[in-house]
Structure 1
Amino acid sequence: MSPAVLPALLGLTLVLPRAQALTCQSGRAVAVRNATELPLEWTVGEMICNEGWGCQDTVMLLENGLQVLLVLTKGCTQEKDQEAHITQHREGPGLSIVSYTRVCRHMDLCNDLSSTVSLWSLPAPVVPGFMRCPVCLSTEGCESATEVTCPISHSHCYNGILKLRGGGISSTLRVQGCMSQAACNLLNKTRKIGPLSLSEKCGVKGMEALTCQSGTLAKVMNVTELPQEWTAGQKDCKEGWGCQDTLMLLENGPQVLLVLMKGCTQKKDQEARIIQHRAGPGLSVVSYTYVCRHEHLCNDLSTTLPLWTLQPPEVPGSVRCPVCLSKEGCESATEVTCPVGHSHCYNGILELTGEDISSTLRVQGCMSQAACNLLNETREIGSLSVSEKCGAKGAQALTCQSGTGVAVSNAVDMPLEWTIGEKICNKGWGCQETVMLIENGPQVFLVLTKGCTQEKDQKARVTKHRAGPGLSIVSYTRVCRHEDFCNDLSTTRPLWSPPPPSVPGSVRCPVCLSTEGCESATEVTCPAGHSHCYNGILQFRGGGIGSTLRVQGCMSQAACNLLNETREIGPLSVSEKCGVKASPTCEKGVVMQLKKNLAKEPMEWNAVSSVTCDLEEVCQETLLLIDVGSTSLIVGSKGCIKTETPNYQTVSIHSGPPGMLMASYTRFCSSNRCNSASSTSVLLNSLPPPAAPVPGGLQCPTCLKFGEVCKFSENVMCPKGTTGCYKGYINIKGGGLSSAFSIQGCMAPSSNSLLNHTDMIGPFHTVEFPQAVNKDHQNGAAPKYPQSGAAPAPYLAWVVGLGLSLALWCGMTTLFTLFPCDS
C-alpha cells in the first residue's frame, strides 16, 4: 500500500479531508490625504483564510479641516459575522471620526468595500467662532502646523497622539485641531474598531516615542547575489529610545553570510560607522552600525552597497583548505587553494545572538594566522553579540527536527508519512522524537512530537503497550546527539504492520476514537477473547501537546488500564479515566468594564474563543458587580474549572442596598459550550429592583479605581439606612484575571466587609482589605480616615507587581479592556 503523504508547514500538519476555506480581499493602509481628494478608492490583494474564518472590512476616516486620515484593513478573521455598520464616533465640524466595519462568510471576496463613498459626504459650511487653534494630522510631527479659526462652539484646542494597532497596522498619529470640550476624548471612548485597537494621549509637546524600521535576517547566500536590498517593518519604541541599524557581512570564497538587525535601542546616538574587522582575501568580516533619534524611521539602511565591493583577483598560494559557511554542518565542504599569504585553515563556530536572532554558524576557510580570532577580538557589533570557538568537530548546539501533531486517521491510510520544521537547541541538548499509535478497529490515533530535550541519549525503541486485536497501543521513542537532524523518523512504518485477521467473538461494543465526542460511535463484534467494552478518556500533555481523546472499543479485561500502567512516553505524560463523559468544550474569555449604570443596563458578554477542559473539569461563567452609585464595575470570566458541584448556579448579594452594591453570578455546567450567557442580564435580572433612594443624614466620599489608590473622591449624600463610610481595597485573582480595586462609598449597617467575608466567587480568589468603616460622623460631617490616600501594605505590595499582572491579563482573551494592551 502506498503511504499517505502528510506535508507540513512550520511544523507538522496532517492533511485530512477538509471543508473549503474562504478567499478574502486582503490589504491595509494608513494615509493622510487632502479633503479635496475624497472620495478615495482602492484595490487590494487576496488571501486564503483558515477553515471557518470569515472576511473582514474595517475603514476609519478622521477628518480635520483640510486633511483626512484614512485607515484601512482587510483580511481574514475569527470574529462572528456582522452586517456592514457605519459608526459616527465624533461628529464635526472640527475634528470628526467615522468608521465602517463588516464581517462576512457568505461568499469569497465578500469584504468588497472599495471606496469611502458610503462613509463620507461634503461637510456643511460652518459659522466661524472666535477661537484659533493649530490644525495638524501627521505620522511625523506638527512643528509646521497651520493655525485656523475654529467653528463656533468649538472653544478648545485638541493636542494629542493616537496609536492604532491591529489588523496588520501599527501607526502613531499626531493630531491637533478644534474641539467642543477640553477632555482628552477625541475617540469618544472608542477603544476598538474591527481588529483595530485605539489609544490616546494628550498634552505632549512632540511625538511620544520614535517609530523605527524593524526586522532581522541571518542568511547564507552566494557572493554573486550581492549587493542585496531589503524593505523592513516598523516598530514603536519606548520613550527616549532610538533607532538602530546593525549589518554584518562575512565573506568566505564563493559564499557570504548576511546578518541584519533593525529596531529600537537604549544606546546613545552614533554616526553611521563601517568597520573592517578582518580584511580579505580569504575570510573577511565587515560591519555597519548606526543609532539615531532625529526623526522617525531614521535607521533607513536598505542595501549592502556601503559595505561591499568586488574583491580584486587573488594570487593563489600553496595551501589548500576546506571552505564552508553553514548553519547545519560542513561534511560536504569543498577544498580550495588559498590566496598567497594565507597558510592556515580556519575551523570554528560563530554564535550570533541579539533581539530575535539566535544563530550558530559553522565556518571553515583560509586565514593568514593560526589563532582562533576570526572576529579580531570583536564581541559586539551594534545590537549583535558574537562569540567564537575553534577546533570543534560539529556545531556547539544541535539543530533538530521540530514539530507536533495529533490526528485521527483511517487505518486504510496507514502507513503515514510527514515532513517537519527545524529548531536550534540549547548547548548540550539533544534531539528527541516520540510517536504513539492507538489502533481501534477502522481508526488509528497518531501523536507525534519532535524537538530538543535535556534527556540523555536513548536508542530508537519500539514499545508495544497493549497488543491487539481490539484496542492496541505502540510507541516509538529516541534521543540522539550524534548529528544535526538525527531525530529523522518520517513514517509510521517501524511501528505499524497490518493486523492479522481475527476470529469474531460474541460480544458487541461501540468503537470510537475522537477528540470531540462519541455520540455517533459504531457498534462492532469484538474479536474472540475480548469480552469487555472499554469506555474512557485519555489525556496527553507535554512536548508541545495538549490533547484529550475519547476512546471506546473492545478489551480482554474490565480494568481501566488501556495504557497498561504507562504514564510517560518520551516527553508525553499520559493519564486515563473511565466511565465518565468526555471533557466539555467551553467558551473562554474575560471581561472588565468600568462605567456608569452597569447595575441597571445589561451589556454584551460574548466569548471570542473556546477551550477543551481537562479531566474532572466543567464549564464556568462568573460575573462580579460592584456599584458605588456614581460608577459601576463588571468583572467576568468564562472557561473551565475543577469543582465538586459540576451543575450549579447561584446569584449572591454580598453587600447592599442601601449603600454600595456587591453581587455575583456563578454557573458551573458540564455540557459543551453551556457557559454561553450573552449578557450581564443573567445577574441583573436576579437582583431586586432598585428603590428610589431616600437621602439620609450621612455624607461619604465615593470612588472606584482600577489598579490605583482613590485620591480624589466625590462626596455624596448617602441613602437613608446607611451608617458608615467604607474605604478599602479588593484583589481578584483567577479565571484569567489578576486585578486590584480601590473602593470608597456608603456602607450598610450589617457588616464592615463588602464581600461579606467571601473568599471564592467561581474561579475568583478574592481578598479584601477594609481600611476603615467610619461610623462616628453624622449630619454631613467629614469622615476621618487614617493615612489619607494610603493603602495597606499587602495592597501596596500587589500594586508594585501590577505591571506584571497587567501583562498576564493582556495575554488572555479579553472581551473588553480598560487599557490597551500595547504601550
Structure 2
Amino acid sequence: MSFILLPALLGLTLMLPPMEALTCQAGIWETVRKTSEMPLSWTPEEESCKDGWGCQDSLMLIENGPEVFLELSKGCTQKADHEARITQHRKGPGLSVISYTHVCRHKNLCNDLSSTRPVWTLPPSAVPGSVRCPVCFAEEGCKSATEMTCPIGHTHCYNGVLHLRGVGIHTNLKVQGCMSQAACNLLNETQEIGTLGLSIRCGKVGVKALTCEFGRLTIVRKASELPVRWTVGQESCKDGWGCQDSLMLIENGPQVFLALSKGCTQKEDHEARVTQHREGSGLSVISYTRVCRHKNFCNDLTSTDPVWTLPTSAVPGSVRCPVCFSEESCESATELTCPIGHTHCYNGTLQLRGVGIFTDLKVQGCMSQAACNLLNDTQEIGALSVSEKCNSDGVQALTCQAGTLRAVRKTSELPLEWTTGEEFCKDGWGCQDSLMLIENGPQVFLALSKGCTQKEDHEARITQHRKGPGLSVISYTRVCRHKNFCNDLSSTGPVWTLPPSAVLGSVRCPVCFAEDGCKSARELTCPVGHTHCYNGVLHLRGVGILGDLKVQGCMSQAACNLLNETQEIGALSVSEKCDSVGVPPPLTCQKGVMLQIKENLTQNPLPWNTFSTVTCDLKEVCQETLLLIDVGPKSLMVGSKGCSKTEKKNSTTISIHSEPPGVLVASYARFCSSNGCNRATSSSVLLNTLPRPAAPAPGGLQCPACVQFGGSCSNSVNIMCPPGTTHCYNGYLNLKGGGLSAIFSIQGCMVQPSSSLLNHTKNIGQFFASEGPENEDAGDKVRQSGAVPVRCLAWVVGLGISLALWCGI
C-alpha cells in the first residue's frame, strides 16, 4: 500500500491504491523511402511496463531531396508525461528535419501514433539554384551518391554522420545533401528526440574556402573630416570560415576615434548591425558589425557612411571638462564647455584587443552621469574585445543628507517633517531618498532612508503600490549627483494627501501596526468592497534599518500581496510573510482546450464538456474563452477553460470583432471566482448572442475562402461574396495562451481592406492574438512564433473536410 502525506496544514493523511502498470504499443522501425511513397503507416507490437512507467512515441523524419529517412521508437518509458510535440529542427527545402514525441499514462496503448501523417506534408517544388551537391542516406558509404542541383539559397554541401542511440537502436547514418550554411549543425543543436539520443560528426567535403577583405585601422580625426573611406587588402580563410567587418566610432566633441577590423572569422553569419552603445551629445559610441559567407569579399564596408551622421549643435551648459583622445597622455587636453545635461567629466582608458589590434586609448570628455561605463557594459564589438579602466580625476565626492526613520503616527498628525544629518560619499557615489508610507485606517507607518548610494541617477518617482481605502502603500525614491545635499526630501508632503471618507461595508477586521504583537488590535468596519482581513509580517532591510512589522487591516482580496510584488523601494528591501487566517482556499476550475474546423458552427452549437479539473494559484480565478471565425464554407471554433491571473474577477465579455457581410469573428470570455464556475457546456453561450441575418444573395466579387490550421491555405475554395463586400482577405492568426499555441491561415470576403480581423484586439479572454498578411512562408511563422502548432495532438486529420480536437490538459 502506497502513502501520500499532504501538508500538515490539511491535518489528514490519504492512502491511495498502487498505480496500475500500463500496456504500451512497442516497436522500432528504421527505413529510407522515396518521397513519393509517403505517408507511411505501421502496425506495432505490445509491451507490459513497470509500475509507474508511461508509454512513448519518438519519431524523426529527415527529408533529403527525393528520399526520406525515418526513425521510430515506441514503448515504455520513465520520462514525465507531455502532450504531442511536433518540432521542425531544420526547415527545407534542402535537408529538413522534423520530429514527433509524446509521453502518456492516461490509458493502455495511449502511444497510438500509427503513421507519418501528423508530421508529413508533401513539400512544394523549390526553385533550383546554381550549386550542385551529392545527395545520400547510407549506413555504409556514399561513394555512389547522385549529384543534384540544390534549391536556390542552399549554397553549401552537407557531409556528415548522424549517430542514433536508444533502446535497441545503434545506427551510424551517413548523410549528404544541400544546406543554406556551412555548418555541422543538421539538427540545430538537438541532442535528444524523445528516447532517441542524437549526435553528428562532419567532414569538409564541399565546404568552399572564402577570400575576404582584410585590414586593421585605429585613427583619430576631426569630426569635420568625416566620413572616412579606406582601401583594404585580402585574406584567404580556412574551410568554413566567414568574412567580418567590425567598426567602432567614438565621438568626443570636435574629435572622432575610429577602430576598424576586417578579415576571416569563425563566428556565425549575421546581417549588418548598427548599435548605439552611448548616445551623444558629449561622448557617444556607435558600432557596425557583420559576418557573411555567401560570396568572396562579402565584408565590403568601405566607409563610415552607414554609422556616421553629423551631430546637431548642442546647447552648452555650465560644466567644463577636458576633452582628449591619446595613446600617451592627456596632460595638454583642451577644456571645453559640456552640453547641457552633461554634468560629469569622464576620465578613463579604453583597452581594444583583436587580431592585429592592441591599443590603450586614454579618453577624457563630457558625460551625463558619474560612471566608468562609457561602453554601456559592452565587452565585444565583432572581432574587437573592449574594456575600460577609469581614474577618479574630475569626479567630485559628494556630501549627502543622511539618516533613517521608522515611525507609526495617527493619520491626523500628517504631514510629517524631519531634519537629517550628513554623510561624506565615496568618489562617484550619489545621494538617495527612499520613503515608504502605509496607511491603515486611523494610522500611518513611515520608513525613511537617506544617504549615499552607488545606484544610477533618476528623477523623483512616486509609486502607488496599493491604493486605498483600506490598506494602501505609496513610496518616493530619488538618486542624484548634480550637487551636495541634493537628496533634499524633508517631509511627507510630496506623497501624502488626506484620504477621502470611505463608505463603510459589513466586514470587520482587526487593524494594527506593531513590532511585538497585535493581540490587542482594535476591530474596525472595513470600507465597502474590502471583504478580506490581511494578517502578515512586513520585513524591512536597509542601511540602518532592520525590522519586522506586524500588519493587520482591510483588503479587497485574499492575498499575501500587500506590496503588489514590490521587493525594493530605493535603498529599502521589502518582503512579507502572511498567516492563513481569513484566506480562502484556492479555486478548483474546469480545464481543457477545444478546437474544431467544420461547416455551420455559427448555427449548430458544439458540446463543450471537460473531463479534468485544475487547482489554481491563490491569486487566480476560473476562466472560459471561445473564439469563432466563420468564412462561409467553413468555421473555426477555439475554446479554453482553466485558471487565470486577472484583475477581472467576475466578468463576461461577448465581442463581435468583424461582422457580416464577409468574415464573421466573435468571441466570448468569462472570468469567475467560485469553484467550477467555468461550466458552460456548449458554444451556445456565444452563438445565442450573434445576429441571425437572412442568407444573403451572392454579389459580384469572387474570393477564395479558407480557414486552416497551421500553414498556408491549401484547401481554399472560390465563393461568390455577399453584396457589400469589396475586398478579399488573406492572412494568418497566431493564438497563444489558455493551453493553446497555434497558427491559423484565413481567407474570405471583407467589406473594406484590412489586415486585422480582430480590429487590432490583442487579448481575447485567456488568448493573446497576433495577426498578419499571408505574405510569408507559413513554416517561418510557426518557427518565429514558437507554435507547436498546438500542444495537444492536433495533426490527427490531414485538414480535409473537418478537424476536431478536444483535450483536457
TM-score by length of 1: 0.34
TM-score by length of 2: 0.35
